[in-house]
Amino acid sequence: MIMALITCKECGGTMSDRAAECPHCGCPIEFQKEEISEPQNEQPQPTNPRKIHKQLLITLVVVGTLAIITGSFLLFGNNSFGKPTLAITPEFTKALERYDQIDAFSEGLAAVRRNGKWGYINLKGEEVIPCQFSDAFPPGQFSEGLACVVDDRDEEDKKLWNQRVGFINKKGEWILTGDYFTENPNMGSVWEEESHKLPSFKDGKCAVWSNGTQEAFDDIEIKLVDAKGTLHEVADSIGYKMIQFQPYPCPIPYKDIAPIHEKKIVYDDYAITIARDTVECDNGARLVTWQILDANSYPYQTEEKTIQYFIDNHGNSTLTSTQQDEMEQHLNGLIASLLDSHNEQLRRAAEEERQKREEEERQRQREWLYGSWEYSGTVDMGRYLGGVKRVTSKLIISDDNLKVYDNGELVYNGYYEIRDNEIVYDSRNGSSFVIKFDSYSHRIEFDRGKYYSKVSTSSYNSSSSTYSSSSTTFRTEADVWAYLSSTVYYGRGTRFRITPRYLEVNGSPQTGGVRIVNFNGSRATLQTSDPYSGGQILTLYINAANGSVSSGSEVYYAK
């Protein structure tokens, strides 16, 4: 151990570090130890420079790596492939309110529609390419840095039928246009597939129409164009696969068919379809299309309400409370409309049932008319018409036919009507013949004070056959169809049969499918749709007891 000299704190004198106290002033050594200096002859050990460089290099690598990871996270979010991630903010949601239609994001841009024109926005909601492109052909999505668009041109420029078709870059600059694009973008599926979207680049090429001369439409064929505008031959099978390529197809707003993912609210034959379709974008976002469709009028007078919104990968959404309220109000309005239709259908059914009962009652009250009636006697024709003459007259009355004989000659055979207490027939040119009857005394008048005599009675006596009442009892639907399969109804010059597939009138199908609503005893109720009244429901009431079928006030009988 080497001895070292220290300086006393109290007196400043020199002393050994091994002494118990200062020999000059007596200050204890424990108060002096913090001032002990290193032995003057002890030299510091040199440091290895390679070790320093290695440690420094490791430190720089670690710090650099952390910086890159942190910067990537801050710049790109959670997308490890370096693609920008959509982060929904109140400003972004507010920006979307300017547009009435949006498309999925692709390569950081999404097509948007405003005032009947299309453009593109970025991830901040900024309109980086103005809304200027044709609404007739919603633009394509960006793929490999290009997007296909259709631009309406000046009326004086007749080239390409006043529309410029081609590809733009992300600055909105036209990169590719040319005569190899079709004169009419609507002429084929190259330009317009199921989603009505224009084609997109894939693996450096895109499918286009190509024709040698603008008039020679027979020469049109599918080719592939590259980013330099060079055309390449392609087999039809490959070409048609290319025309269907969409990076992120958005199905609902463009399609004219019912969506696949659907939920229905149904009243009777009326329904509402509710659908939410989701498209996964390439930036961590999802585009949701929410649609409410009145399925009754589809596809002719579709009443639909559609909104679209984005959801980011944190679950934030651009769906606003105002949009939700609009959809709820639209849905409630449709439901109320369907409920009104349902109630109207019930009202019509009740009214038809009332009319049927009334007609049955009238039929029952008129049954005494059916049969053969004869009159034989004298009639004073007046001096100028021959005076008193002997005449004979005969009436044969059935439910839908009247035959009139005068002196043995058939003078009328056809339809008749009952008006108050009169049989009215042979109506034409504003005139008709009338036979009066008394419902209380069950008498038919031939002339003033002269009456027919009934010579035969029948509950049903038609112009060609007689129907005897049936004892058929319907226990199952099969019983109803078995009964109808062998039954033909007649009335008002019409004959018809009822089958599960349609109502056949005079040998021709006239309606849609027929379904049995209910049955009880010898009665059954059927319904079908009448295409001649806009698909209105037609209700038929079967009565096997008397062989009749009625609809509203019309009654027909089996023969």
Which pLDDT tens digit goes with each residue over 524-558? 999 988 776 666 788 899 988 888 888 877 788 88
Q: What angle do CA 303, 260, 335 make, to 5 degrees?
A: 35
| 46: preceding bond cis by omega (within 30 degrees) | no
* Average pLDDT of the segment spanning 75-96: 72
Take residue 227 and report the two structure tokens written for it: 């980013």
What gap in Å lies between CA 468 and CA 457, rounded to an integer?
Answer: 13
Please state the φ and ψ torsions of residue 91, each to the nearest 5 degrees: -65, -40
Least confident of 174-183, 226-235, 495-504, 512-521: 174-183
Where residue 88 falls (left for φ over 0; alpha for ψ -120 to 50; beta otherwise) is: beta
What gap in Å lies between CA 457 and CA 214, rounded to an integer?
Answer: 84
Which amino acid is it at 329? Answer: Q
Where do the H-state alpha helices sit in 445-546?
477-485
Position 3 pLDDT exceeds 50: yes
What gap in Å lies between CA 294 and CA 269, rounded to an integer?
Answer: 12
Where residue 316 falls (left for φ over 0; alpha for ψ -120 to 50; beta otherwise) is: beta
Q: Is 405 exposed, middle or buried (0-12, 13-18, 19+ CB in 10 A)?
A: middle
Between the alpha carbon of residue 35 and those of residues 2, 14, 16, 20, the distances in Å are 17, 12, 12, 15
Is pTM, for the whole model, over 0.85? no
274 neighbors 291 (Cβ within 8 angstroms): yes
Q: What is the pLDDT of residues 331-382, one digit of tens each?
A: 888 888 878 877 887 888 888 888 888 878 877 878 899 889 999 988 877 7
CA 13 from centre of chain: 105
What gap in Å lies between CA 8 and CA 308, rounded to an integer?
Answer: 87
Residue in this structure with the two tokens 């068919």, named with its chain if needed: 257
209 neighbors 163 (Cβ within 8 angstroms): no
307 neighbors 323 (Cβ within 8 angstroms): yes
372 neighbors 403 (Cβ within 8 angstroms): no
User: Residue 55: what pLDDT?
Assistant: 67
Please state the three-class secondary structure of 421-469 as a single string: CEEEEEEECCEEEEEEEECCCCEEEEECCEECEEEEECCCCCCCCCCCC
User: Residue 40: what pLDDT?
Assistant: 47
Q: What is the pLDDT of residues 16-67, one digit of tens each?
A: 776 767 776 667 666 555 444 444 444 555 555 555 566 666 666 655 555 5
CA-wise closest residue to 195 among 119, 277, 108, 304:
277
Give the number of residues written for the chain. 559
Higher pLDDT, 271 or 106: 106
Between the alpha carbon of residue 507 and those of residues 193, 374, 425, 502, the distances in Å are 43, 37, 27, 11
Take residue 444 and report the two structure tokens written for it: 């038919």
Annotated domain spans of the chain: 5-35, 90-243, 371-457, 477-558
Residue 159 CB contacts under 8 Å (≥ 6 apart), including other chains = 153
DSSP state of 73: H
Least confident of 41-45, 380-384, 385-389, 394-398: 41-45
Higher pLDDT, 18 or 454: 454
